[in-house]
Structures are given as C-alpha cells and as structure tokens.
C-alpha cells in the first residue's frame, strides 16, 4: 500500500488502519495540538484518544525510599538492600581541583590558541583536524596536563563507597584521570570519554604510557611513534571517534543491577552518557548532587508521555518524585554532607587530608596553570563537550 495525500502522519499501511481504531501515530498528531492546552485537558484528551488509563509509574513500582529526601537516601544506602551503587560524574567534580572545563571557550584556555587560526575552538577535539594539525591540541594539553592536580572531596567520596564495599562502578565523563589518582581501582572505573592515562599511535596502534606523552608535551614536541611516523594521541574520545568498548560492555553488565544511582557534577547534556540515568531499574533511587537541577526533561510532550507511562526519561525532581532527589550546591559540599549524614564524615575528611599529603610529598602541584578567566573567547552558546 502506498501513502496518499490524505493519510494522517505516520499512516503507511492500509491494513493497519483497518485493524486499529486509533491512528497508528496518535502521539505525533496530538503533539501539534497540545501547545496551549492545560495539563488536565491533555490528560483527558490522551486517555480518550489512546484508550489509556493514566498509570503513574509510581503506582506499580516499589517505592524503596521511606522519605523522598536526602535523609531517605541516607537510610536506603545504610540498608542491607543497597549493595550496588553506581556513581556518574562530569566536570563538576573536578572544578574544585582547579581543572577548568576543558572544552569551554569561556575559560580563556583557548586564548593561547588564537595563533593557530582554528576554524572553531572545538576543532581541537575533532579527529580529522587533529590528523592534519595536532599542535593546537598539544598546546592546550600542556596547560591542563593530568598529574598536576589533586582529586577532590567528591573523588574521595567515591573511593569511600568502594571501601565500604558498595560501589558497583563509577562512570565518568572526565578525562583528567583524577579517579585513578584518588585510588579508585581501575576495574571500578569506566572512563566514558576516554582517558589521558594511555595513548596510541594513530597509524600502527602501538600503546604508550602517560609518561611518554608527558615528556613530549612539556618539551613542546608532538609525540611521534617510535615504530612508525604516526602521531601518538591520548586515548580521549575525540569528535568523530566511537566511545570505548569498555563503556558498552560495562553498562550492559551494571545498570540492571544498580540499586542506587548517584549523579555528581554533570550537566547530563552529552549523549549517550546522559541517557544512562534511564537504564537503572524503575525503583532505583537516583540522587543528583549538582549546582543546579539537570537531567530533567521538561519538554511538554515528553513530560506528558512520561506521565502516562508511555515513555520514561530524565530525573523527576518535582513533588511527584518517588525516587529522585536533588542535593543542589557545590559538589564537594554535597558529598561531604552525604558522608556526614552517613556517619562517615570524619573518615572522608581524614582520607582527603592523608591522600593530599601523600600527593604533596610526591610533588604534585595543585594548579600550575591557573585559568585566565578575564579573557573569554567568543564561541557557541552551549559549548560542546567531549
Ligand atoms: Zn606507530
């Protein structure tokens, strides 16, 4: 059967029309009409058109939080049922270490790159551009080289969860290796956007350690492979490259087992990382520790679809929340607050002190290249992030 001009959107099969009294794609046809209706009219309309009863997810799903609050979360974490916590983090857990957002044109870090006449700041992280001209990337990398920064309270809080035996895995968008520096075991970390920790030759794929790259970067040289003329590139994921295989493997293993999700310092704007929050079971409590509410998909259509159980997605941080809690404010303050409430506050403070002293002895500098925020560069409104 072929479409004809009178078919409503989504209709492509006459047989299907006969079988079903509702248009095959009622959501789309409704979408254009819901703009100025109030929620109750939309609800009635959807129930009529789709033959649905409003089914709140919360009515059929076990509520494991006695109280949808930080204290409710604390009680859950301390219960025996909570054994598999997944933490997810973004740039927000590293900013107090002095690491500016690597990719943001507003940080002033791009100032030094003007001489390269980049087509746009993000070109630094595009694999095709890098192949032609790796110099701008290495200039920026020198300013931000891992090993020059100390992990934050937030990083050590994740390690504490591991030491308590309840960390299933930590997923990070960051490439600064601070999770490793904090002493979280490698097998507990998934670096979704790759890492500086290892590098590979773009041509023959020979692997190189952090030290190799570091020597070259600080000598203002482009690291070249010892076995071939290929350029050696840190294993961070550039635009145009796929995410690490480990990311895919681990998320299949982990998320269905997750009984507590803690999201820290992430804008949850970058896919596919952002959609991970929807991969945990429907009853799993989710705690957001961040400066502002993120991950709330509030577009009217999505909100309505979710209300009727037709589509799930995003955090639900309103009065109807049965499992999602936000602790707004500084990420380190949030982690310390959570640790205090769990009765682990002093343990966390002592760990941070002890580990920072160790790093000081090892000669780690806190912030050798402070960012120069007085020189914002023009750029797109929402800077891409790796
Ligand atoms: Zn090579």
- What are the two backbone dihedrals, phi and then psi, of residue 263, each rounded to the nearest 5 degrees? -105, 125
Distance 179 CA to ligand 1 centre (A): 29
Residues 180 and 108: their CA atoms lie apart, in Å, by 27
Do the annotations mark residue 258 as ligand-binding?
no
pTM above 0.85, yes or no: no
Do the annotations mark residue 201 as ligand-binding?
yes
Q: Which is nearest to 368 in space by CA: 177, 94, 139, 97?
A: 97
Distance 232 CA to ligand 1 centre (A): 7
Distance 220 CA to ligand 1 centre (A): 20
Domain 70-193+237-332: homologous superfamily in CATH: TPP-binding domain (3.40.50.1220)
- Rounded (10°) angle between helices 135-143 and 210-218: 100
3-class secondary-structure state, position 323? coil
HSE, side-chain direction, 13 A CA sphere, residue 1: 12
- In this predicted model, what pLDDT tens digit does every residue of 165-210 receive, in sequence order? 999 999 999 988 899 999 999 999 999 999 888 999 999 999 999 8
Please state whether beta strands 167-172 and 189-191 pair in parallel, antiparallel, or not at all (unpaired).
parallel
Q: Which of 162, 193, 216, 307 is catalytic?
A: 193
- 111 flagged as catalytic: no
From residue 381, how far is each of 204, 331, 384 by CA, in Å? 38, 24, 9
Distance 206 CA to ligand 1 centre (A): 6
Encoded tokens for 186 = 């490698």
- In this predicted model, what pLDDT tens digit does every residue of 121-154 receive, in sequence order? 788 889 999 999 999 999 888 877 776 789 999 9
- Residue pair 100/109 in contact by the 8 Å Cβ criterion: yes
Encoded tokens for 81 = 């049922």
- Residue pair 115/377 in contact by the 8 Å Cβ criterion: no
- The H or E element containing residue 28 is helix 26-31
Q: What is the dihedral of CA 156, 160, 162, 164, to 10 degrees?
A: 180
- In this predicted model, what pLDDT tens digit does every residue of 7-62 receive, in sequence order? 333 333 333 333 333 333 433 333 344 333 444 555 555 555 555 544 444 457 88
Do the annotations mark residue 335 as ligand-binding?
no
Q: 43-55 burial string, b = 16+ CB within 10 Å, else e?
A: beebeeeeeeeee
- Total count of residues recorded for the chain: 386
Distance 208 CA to ligand 1 centre (A): 10
- Statement: residue 78 has pLDDT above 70: yes
- What are the two backbone dihedrals, phi and then psi, of residue 264, each rounded to the nearest 5 degrees? -125, 130
> Would you list the domain boundaries of the chain?
14-58, 70-193+237-332
């Amino acid at each position: 059967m072929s479409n004809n001009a009178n078919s409503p959107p989504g209709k492509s099969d006459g047989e299907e029309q006969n079988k079903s009294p509702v248009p095959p794609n009622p959501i789309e046809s409704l979408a254009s009409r819901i703009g100025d209706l109030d929620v109750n009219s939309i609800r009635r309309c959807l129930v009529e058109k789709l033959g649905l009863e409003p089914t709140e997810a919360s009515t059929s799903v076990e509520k494991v939080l006695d109280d949808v609050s930080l204290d409710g979360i604390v009680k859950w974490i301390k219960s025996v049922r909570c054994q598999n916590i997944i933490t997810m983090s973004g740039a927000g857990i590293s900013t107090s270490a002095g690491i500016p957002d690597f990719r943001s044109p507003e940080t002033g870090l791009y100032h030094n790159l003007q001489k390269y006449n980049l087509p746009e700041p993000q070109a630094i992280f595009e694999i095709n551009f890098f192949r032609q001209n790796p110099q701008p990337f290495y200039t920026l990398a020198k300013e931000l080289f891992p090993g020059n920064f100390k992990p934050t309270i937030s990083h050590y809080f994740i390690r504490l969860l591991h030491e308590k035996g309840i960390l299933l895995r930590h997923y990070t968008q960051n490439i600064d290796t601070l999770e490793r520096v904090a002493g979280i075991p490698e097998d507990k970390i998934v670096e979704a956007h790759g890492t500086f920790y290892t590098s590979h030759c773009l041509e023959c794929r020979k692997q190189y350690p952090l030290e190799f790259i570091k020597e070259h970067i600080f000598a203002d040289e482009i690291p070249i492979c010892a076995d071939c003329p290929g350029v050696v590139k840190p294993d961070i994921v550039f635009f145009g490259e796929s995410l690490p295989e480990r990311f895919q493997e681990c998320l299949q293993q982990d998320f269905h087992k997750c009984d507590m999700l803690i999201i820290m310092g992430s804008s949850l704007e970058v896919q596919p990382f952002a959609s991970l929050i929807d991969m945990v079971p429907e009853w799993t409590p989710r705690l957001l520790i961040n400066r502002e509410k993120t991950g709330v998909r509030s577009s009217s259509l999505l909100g309505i679809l979710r209300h009727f159980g037709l589509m799930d997605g995003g955090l639900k941080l309103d009065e109807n929340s049965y499992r999602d809690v936000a602790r707004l404010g500084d990420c380190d303050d949030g982690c310390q607050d959570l640790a205090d409430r769990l009765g682990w506050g002093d343990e966390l403070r002592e760990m941070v002190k002890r580990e920072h002293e160790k790093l000081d002895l090892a000669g780690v500098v806190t912030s050798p290249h402070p960012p120069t925020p007085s020189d914002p560069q023009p750029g797109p409104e929402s800077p891409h992030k790796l």
